[in-house]
């Protein structure tokens, strides 16, 4: 048997953390040459399944088999240790390179597109296309999934099971909607038929009680009940389609700033030996500015200068009257300490804080946890909740989709479309950028 002729199999695996079930009787087969995208909402168990497939954790029941046992498996974790001397994109490439070597039979990649610029995404897609092994990937990048995978495995937050779909993200999304519509029709038809039979039985019982149809052989009431009970038993039993909780991101500017929000004139920013500029930029009220450029070109450095964290080496920075800046930084550093979410949001009062955080998918247990213990996706949602709480009128978003699930990314798109303030955006999510409604682009 050749090296690349083997399979990785998760057979009927279940996994719980404490009393919380994560995966229940999940079977996933990764045959030679497979290209599988693993999708589902945050917390549903995607990263857990990857770790189980990698052999880093053991299932509570079921088993993971490598066929043959010598099958070489490479794993990329979602959270990578930052060095502090390289950009996020450079860190991402550095972490990916050893995993993409050609002697691995199966690649297990958890959010590999995070922090990659457009060139980096193209490089990753080429590398995966040329890799002879199989692939199981977790990603929120819908365009990436369309380009790279040929099968989707969806993990369900309600049943904790798995459902397979053929094709990439677009095919999965369309087929999932078709299945959902068929399920609703079956459920509605079953409910309608049950009600029709129950109404017939009620009407027949009422007729018998009033003595209608005296000329006919009279049926006993228990015979009527038996007849219609048999009819009801033949009606298909269809459970009502599960309606998952849906994230609702509401971002609203509490007040309007002046017509000019920010202005850079001949601005030069230096960080060690690295230099950005000179830059001239005027941001008007309601502008949607995309800040673009390859990894290492200085996008985050420029944002630090705009936010006043880095002094200008030359030139001027001017902020207009009434500007209330709010930032979602790339590393989510504001939500990485030992304080709980309730402590971070204490200015709102406990009840208001709990209500707001619940809207962003952070419940009663989450708000008492130290911010550092939150998952990357939870930290991102908490950061967006903080912006909503402050009612900022100028959003500065540095890779806001990192670690969000696809449903949250799509909800962020909706929230940004409804937001009336000013937005400065750094993103490598191609669909988000397409739908952002950019009014100007600053290319570094």
* Count of Cβ atoms closer than 10 Å to residue 432 Cβ: 22
Q: Give the integer Cα–Cα distance in Å for 19 and 21.
A: 6
The sheet with strand 106-110 has its strands ordered as 73-76, 106-110, 134-138, 35-39, 151-155, 162-166
Instruction: Give residue 9's pLDDT.
Output: 92
Distances (CA, A) of 29 to 9, 13, 55, 70: 5, 12, 15, 17
Tens digit of each residue's pLDDT (9 = 90 or more) over 29-88: 999 999 999 998 877 899 999 999 999 999 999 999 999 999 999 999 887 676 555 666
Per-residue pLDDT of the chain (444 residues; tens, 9 = 90+): 344 568 999 999 999 988 888 999 999 999 999 999 999 887 789 999 999 999 999 999 999 999 999 999 999 988 767 655 566 677 788 888 888 877 899 999 999 998 888 888 999 999 999 998 999 999 989 999 999 999 999 998 888 999 999 999 989 988 888 888 887 788 888 888 888 888 877 777 777 667 655 555 555 566 667 777 777 777 777 777 766 656 666 777 888 888 999 999 999 988 888 888 898 989 999 999 999 888 888 888 888 888 888 889 999 998 888 888 888 776 666 676 778 888 888 778 888 888 888 877 787 778 888 887 777 777 778 888 888 888 888 989 888 887 777 877 888 888 888 888 899 999 888 888 888 889 988 888
Q: Which domains does the chain have, with CATH numbers?
A: 3-175 (3.40.50.300), 260-443 (3.40.50.300)
Instruction: Give residue 152's pLDDT.
Output: 95
**Full-model pTM:** 0.70
Tokens of 253: 């500017």
Q: Give the integer Cα–Cα distance in Å for 173 and 152.
A: 10
């Amino acid at each position: 048997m050749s090296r690349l002729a083997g399979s990785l199999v998760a057979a009927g695996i279940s996994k719980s953390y404490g009393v919380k079930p994560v995966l229940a009787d999940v079977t996933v087969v990764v045959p030679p040459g497979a290209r599988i995208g693993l999708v589902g909402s945050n917390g549903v168990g995607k990263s857990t399944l990857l770790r189980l497939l990698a052999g880093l954790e053991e299932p509570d029941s079921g088993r993971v088999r490598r066929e043959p046992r010598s099958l070489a498996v490479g794993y990329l974790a979602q959270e990578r240790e930052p060095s502090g001397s390289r950009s996020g994109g450079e860190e991402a490439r550095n972490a990916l390179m050893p995993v993409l070597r050609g002697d691995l039979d199966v690649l297990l990649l958890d959010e590999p597109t995070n922090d990659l610029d457009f060139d980096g995404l193209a490089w990753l897609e080429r590398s995966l296309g040329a890799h002879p092994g199989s692939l199981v990937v977790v990603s929120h990048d819908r365009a990436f999934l369309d380009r790279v995978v040929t099968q989707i495995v969806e993990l369900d937050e309600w049943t904790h099971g798995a459902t397979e779909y053929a094709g990439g993200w677009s095919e999965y999304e369309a087929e999932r909607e078709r299945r959902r519509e068929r399920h609703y029709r079956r459920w509605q038809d079953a409910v309608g038929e049950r009600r029709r039979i129950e109404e017939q039985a009620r009407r027949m019982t009422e007729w018998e009680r009033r003595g209608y149809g005296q000329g006919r052989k009279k049926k006993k009431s228990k015979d009527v009940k038996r007849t219609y009970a048999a009819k009801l038993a033949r009606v298909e039993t269809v459970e009502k389609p599960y309606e998952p909780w849906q994230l609702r991101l509401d971002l609203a500017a509490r007040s309007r700033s002046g017509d000019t929000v920010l202005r850079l004139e001949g601005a030069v920013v230096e960080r060690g030996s690295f230099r950005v500029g000179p830059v001239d930029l005027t941001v008007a009220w309601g502008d949607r500015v995309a800040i673009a450029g390859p990894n290492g070109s200085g996008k985050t450095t420029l944002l630090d200068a705009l936010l006043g964290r880095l002094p200008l080496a030359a030139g001027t920075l001017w902020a207009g009257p009434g500007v209330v800046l709010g930032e979602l930084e790339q590393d989510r550093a504001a939500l990485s300490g030992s304080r709980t979410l309730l402590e971070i949001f204490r200015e709102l009062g406990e009840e208001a804080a709990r209500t707001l955080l619940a809207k962003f998918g952070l419940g009663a247990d989450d708000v008492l946890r130290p911010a550092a213990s939150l998952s990357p996706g939870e930290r991102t949602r908490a950061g967006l909740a903080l912006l909503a709480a402050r009612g900022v009128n100028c959003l500065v978003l540095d890779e806001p989709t990192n670690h969000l699930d696809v449903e949250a990314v799509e909800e962020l798109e909706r929230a940004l479309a409804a937001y009336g303030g000013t937005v400065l955006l750094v993103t490598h999510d191609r669909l988000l950028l397409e739908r952002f409604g950019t009014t100007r682009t600053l290319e570094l």
